[in-house]
């Protein structure tokens, strides 16, 4: 992939343009009680998740796409 930034920009633009259409929410705001439960958070403890991601990243060749603002590594 020669131009990852261009691809991501295109994807983001498409997704943003999609927001211009009117889509009827199929889960109403008053139906989101379960989703608001703390155990449904993708990341209950950012400080712990960040640490574990670091541990794995140091031990493994793979990196990235772990959500949040994105992981990274300055490993040498």
Partner 1 sequence: MRRRLAITALTLAGAAPAVGAVLPEDRADLLYHRYDGGGVVVDGPSLLVRKAFFDKVSVAANYYVDMVSSASIDVETTASPYEEERTQYSLSADYLRGKIIYSAGFVNSSESDYEADTAFVSISQDMFGDLTTVSFTYKRGWNDVFRNVNGENDPTFQEQVETRSYAFGLTQVLTRSLVGSANFEVISDEGFLGSPYRSVRYVDPGTPNGFSFQSEVYPNTRQSNAASVRLKYFLPWWRAAVNGRYRYYDDTWGVTGHTAELTYTHPAFNRWIFEGSVRYYNQDAADFYSDLFPRRDFANFLARDKELSTFTSLTLGASVSYDFGIARLPWIQRGQLNLRYDLITIDYDDFRDARVDVDVPGTEPLYSLDANVVQAFVSIWF
Asked if residues 21 and 37 have their Cβ atoms less than 8 Å apart, the reply is no
CB of 75 to partner 1, least distance (A): 4
> Length of the chain in residues, anyone?
76
CB of 9 to partner 1, least distance (A): 8
Residues that bind partner 1 (CB under 8 A): 1, 4-5, 8-9, 11-12, 15-16, 18-19, 23-27, 29, 31-32, 34-37, 39-76
CB of 49 to partner 1, least distance (A): 6
Place of tokens 């603002």: 69
């Amino acid at each position: 992939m020669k131009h990852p930034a261009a691809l991501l920009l295109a994807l983001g633009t498409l997704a943003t343009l999609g927001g211009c259409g009117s889509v009827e929410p199929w889960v109403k705001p008053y139906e989101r009680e379960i989703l608001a439960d703390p155990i449904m958070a993708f990341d209950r403890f950012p400080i712990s998740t960040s640490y574990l991601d670091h541990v794995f990243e140091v031990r493994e060749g793979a990196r990235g796409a772990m959500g949040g603002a994105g992981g990274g590594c300055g490993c040498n």
